[in-house]
Structure 1
Amino acid sequence: MSVSEQVAVRRLRQRLGLGPRPGEPDAAFAPTLDALLGAAPDTAPTPAFPEVADPATNDSAAKNNSATKNDTAAKKAARQQRAEQARQLTVWWLDRMATTTAPFPERLTWFWHGHFATSVQKVRSAALMAGQNATQRRLGGGDFRALAAAMIVDPAMLIWLDGRGSSVGKPNENLAREYMELFTLGVGHYSEDDVRQAARALTGWTVNADGTATFRPPRHDPGPETVLGDTAPFDAPGLADLLTGRPESAAFLAGRVWARFVSDTPPDPATLDGLVAAYGPQRNVTALVRAAVSAPAFTDPASVLVREPVLWLVGALRALGLPASRVPAAALRSGIRGLGQEPFAPPSVGGWPAGTPWLTTAAALERLRLAEALAAAGDLSPVADQPQAQRVDAAAALLGVTWTGRTAAALRPLAARPPQLVAAALASPENTVSA
């Protein structure tokens, strides 16, 4: 395999495949693209969580100081239970990404989690977040229209963007606005009147106590509505079909895929046209990703992406043969929060940033601290079992990177101490970016 082919393979397995596991040399990935993109999601079950309800306030009992204290304690216990469920859900997904033999569906699910960014902090239900995660995994590689239609009435999304209480005469515009701006069309491709009309089309949905979403016709505005020049009695599926069928939607989604898998630099017009053509009238997401990583820019040496903290963490877990559930809980929780990217808790509906915001001095220190905890818990034999003089190269092979002379020189004094060597390698510049 030539050097250029090795670079392409490493990029593919890092950007589409979450990083190598022990014993997976470059040569094992020769049929990379077909093998990666053709992988079906594994069938591991989605975790089930019981719904946690806050205790109802009893006004008459609240007059009694003891009853008030008990009510406060019960609410605190409910908050703690929800937080523990969210932690368990996060560890479950990290475990799944770290151990799966079908990494592309998980990588794509992570992409969709950032695209349709929804936070458990407002949804307050690990069960609903797990359900949304399963939907994104099930539909994420196929027709974007199907995924977008599912997300517009997803129970967690309806809570997150205030769609569950929207009714005829009182439409809430939040879901309609974000759905057009952040999920399907992008900035500048709709008007405020389009938002108002789309909000009417989305009325009538509620979220039941059991976590299911239900359409209630009496609460729905029958229309007709005029959205982007089309007039019809729109409902949620009809609106999703209209928006995902717009040419602006194809270009918008192509740009999002490009930025997360290929380059921070937008594609040139000809390349963008090729991406849109591959996406096609079937709105085929996997075909779009295939076109993006087949473009010449993907193998351009300048195509360097900063690895998002979760992708960096998952790559480290895979390299060390280490499920997240075997990392000390306090160290894992502290590391995730310190790095600023906690699954199921994006900072806003816009999701997490990309690129240089992850390259702060504080982030580098957090990566090193977490890397030390990972190295202490993981399998270091691919490095430790090598002669001391070969361990720096073994660490590069373990992570699927190539050291610069400067990094190799910095790592050599640590060769006698494999845990410190591996921790430093994990936190190195070469492993922080996808080059």
Structure 2
Amino acid sequence: MNNNTLWSLRLGFSNKQEKVIEKSGIAKFLEDSFNSKFDTSIPDFLKDSPKSLEEFKAIRKNRKEATEEEKKQFLKKEISTSLEMKGWWIDKMITNDLPLLEKMTCFWHNHYVSTYQKVKVNYWIFQHNQILRENAFGNFKDLTKKMIKSNAMVRYLDNTDNRKGKLNENLSRELLELFTLGIGNYTENDIKNGAKGLAGLGIGDENAIYRKIFEDPEPFDYLGKNGSFKIEEMIDIIFEQKNIPYLLTRKILKWFIYDNPSEDLVNYYGDYFRKVDFEIKPLLTRIFTEEFAKNTAGSKIKNPIEYTLQLVDELNNKTIKSKLISIFIKQQGMDLFNQPNVKGWDGGNNWLTSQIYLQRNNAADLLCSGKNLNRAKKAENDSEMMSENQENSSKLDLKWSKNGNNKTIISELKKRLLFQVDEATQKDFEAILKYDFNPEAQNADQAVLRLFNAMVKLPEYQLI
């Protein structure tokens, strides 16, 4: 695979940016990506979602008094809104000229997990997502403070139930275990005491706020310090710990480049991360520019978004609906706004089970034949969306050079799609696109499309 294509895929979701990276260089491409803008307006589909604490309380009161049928309709509407939001985000991934912003937002989305299934307020999930986007290239410590004080997070991790005399340790635990330090770098007492500092932090209008009546003002020990700490002070203490950089550098390396990064790399970039005071831009710049120069192709299994959006882009399929893509990647185990648990998607080999591989091959057949993504069985919540799938076939436009012979066309597609090919596979390609292939023949496009379909079903295509 062409190295610029490889990094276009790694820093986005397709090879659209290949020429830009080749022309401007990786460092300039990153600089431009860091400065990319995004829409801050609230989408229309959220107009009826509660946006203040009072609106939330009013809706909750109405739901308690509603009939069973009214409750069912309310739930159906909220699920529909959640699906709209998934499509809205996938549209951003597809249309952004500098998609690293959305890829980094998705990284943070899987780091500070907060799901619609638990929070049940779409606007708070949207807020959570926008905070991630706004701070995607900012400071790790600052972002952690904003995340812990988001309405979505305090509701998702049950801090609304955390109060003096009845402590809930969920948020305190995940703050240390999953968001910052990682297992082995704190004690159970730090978790218990941290819950005291978080007691009373609950839902507010724009973000979580402390309520004095539920606070626990007693001093406590926390990571070697004593005091009556609140969340901002607690996070400051966390970021003084010697092992603070490495959890995040390991996760960034896994998200973008390696399913199994070496500890030497994790420590090397982690030490630099501390040196730049936990600023994300210089960390990403160093990681991407230094790893760009290495031969690292094939070190990571594509997640469902990477797999699907690359396939759709290669085929220039302009008719497939983003909501259908969201349903397909959910089937693949990557449900946006609804990770399976607070640990998020595991990635790696979990993205390529035998069932997922079969689903991917079926999807390739459908898309290469001009059909939309479909499923053998409709889930109840998705049935209305999937019924839209009965439309006519899409017109495909697989770009390939019509000036060459079968071997040059095979080579062209290999550079775009595959990180390596052995001799036996090369012969298989030449059996599909034979030596006397005529690029000007009436069925030439269909023949190249058959070759493309065969390539994207290979194990090598699942890797970047």
After superposition, the C-alpha distances for 1:71-123 in whole angstroms (9 at most, x for unaligned) are: 11111111111111111111111111111112111111111111112211111
Distance across 1 between alignment mates of 2:64 and 2:100 = 47
- Which residue identity is paired with 1:240? I
Distance across 2 between alignment mates of 1:17 and 1:333 = 17
- 2:328 alignment counterpart: 335
- Which residue identity is paired with 1:56? R
Distance across 2 between alignment mates of 1:303 and 1:394 = 18
CA separation of 1:388 and 1:297: change in aligned 2, threshold 3 A: closer
C-alpha RMSD over aligned residues:
3.0
CA separation of 1:378 and 1:348: change in aligned 2, threshold 3 A: farther
- 1:65 alignment counterpart: none
Contact 2:419 2:460 in 1 (8 A): yes
After superposition, the C-alpha distances for 1:328-368 in whole angstroms (9 at most, x for unaligned) are: 57853542232111111101100011211222221112112
Matched, 1:432 2:462: yes
Query: What is the percentage of aligned positions where both structures have the same residue?
Result: 23
After superposition, the C-alpha distances for 1:243-271 in whole angstroms (9 at most, x for unaligned) are: 13322111222222222223233434476
CA separation of 1:328 and 1:306: change in aligned 2, threshold 3 A: same
Contact 2:111 2:179 in 1 (8 A): yes
CA separation of 1:275 and 1:160: change in aligned 2, threshold 3 A: same
- 2:348 alignment counterpart: 355
Contact 1:129 1:156 in 2 (8 A): yes
198-207 or 328-337, which moves further after superposition?
A: 328-337
- 2:53 alignment counterpart: none
Contact 1:222 1:233 in 2 (8 A): yes
Contact 1:167 1:219 in 2 (8 A): yes
- Which residue identity is paired with 1:382? K
136-145 or 34-43, which moves further after superposition?
A: 34-43
Distance across 2 between alignment mates of 1:15 and 1:378 = 27
Match among 138, 143, 146 for residue 147 of structure 1: 143
Deviation at 1:198, TM superposition (A): 0.5
Distance across 1 between alignment mates of 2:251 and 2:64 = 45
Contact 1:335 1:366 in 2 (8 A): no
- Please give the secondary structure, in 2, of the residue aligned with 1:56: helix
Contact 1:279 1:285 in 2 (8 A): no
Match among 360, 367, 370 for residue 367 of structure 1: 360
CA separation of 1:298 and 1:31: change in aligned 2, threshold 3 A: closer
Match among 376, 399, 406 for residue 382 of structure 1: 399
- 1:187 alignment counterpart: 183
- Which residue identity is paired with 1:19? S
Match among 245, 258, 280 for residue 275 of structure 2: 280
- Which residue identity is paired with 1:36? L
Match among 20, 30, 39 for residue 36 of structure 1: 30
- Which residue identity is paired with 1:353? D
Matched, 1:51 2:44: no
Deviation at 1:391, TM superposition (A): 4.8
Deviation at 1:294, TM superposition (A): 3.9
The TM-score normalised by the length of structure 1 is 0.84
CA separation of 1:37 and 1:15: change in aligned 2, threshold 3 A: farther
- Please give the secondary structure, in 1, of the residue aligned with 2:226: strand
Matched, 1:220 2:215: yes
- Which residue identity is paired with 2:364? A
Distance across 2 between alignment mates of 1:219 and 1:131 = 25
Distance across 1 between alignment mates of 2:417 and 2:452 = 9
After superposition, the C-alpha distances for 1:124-165 in whole angstroms (9 at most, x for unaligned) are: 122211111111111121210111001111111111100123
Report matched runs for 1:91-240 at 5 Å: 91-208=87-204, 212-240=207-235
The TM-score normalised by the length of structure 2 is 0.79
Deviation at 1:387, TM superposition (A): 7.0
After superposition, the C-alpha distances for 1:367-394 in whole angstroms (9 at most, x for unaligned) are: 1233344442474241497778365445
Deviation at 1:189, TM superposition (A): 0.9
Deviation at 1:228, TM superposition (A): 0.7
After superposition, the C-alpha distances for 1:383-422 in whole angstroms (9 at most, x for unaligned) are: 4977783654454455475654444444552773455544
CA separation of 1:287 and 1:163: change in aligned 2, threshold 3 A: same
Contact 1:374 1:423 in 2 (8 A): no
Distance across 2 between alignment mates of 1:400 and 1:303 = 9
Match among 298, 305, 310 for residue 300 of structure 2: 305
Deviation at 1:427, TM superposition (A): 3.7
- Please give the secondary structure, in 2, of the residue aligned with 1:231: strand
**Runs (5+) with no aligned partner, structure 2:** 51-58, 371-393, 434-444
CA separation of 1:237 and 1:386: change in aligned 2, threshold 3 A: farther
Matched, 1:345 2:338: yes
- 2:287 alignment counterpart: 292
CA separation of 1:92 and 1:378: change in aligned 2, threshold 3 A: farther
- Which residue identity is paired with 1:57? K
CA separation of 1:92 and 1:302: change in aligned 2, threshold 3 A: closer
Contact 1:386 1:394 in 2 (8 A): no
Distance across 2 between alignment mates of 1:407 and 1:295 = 32
Distance across 1 between alignment mates of 2:364 and 2:265 = 41
- 1:263 alignment counterpart: 258
Distance across 2 between alignment mates of 1:301 and 1:333 = 29
CA separation of 1:98 and 1:279: change in aligned 2, threshold 3 A: farther
Aligned residues: 414
- Please give the secondary structure, in 1, of the residue aligned with 2:162: coil
- Which residue identity is paired with 1:204? G
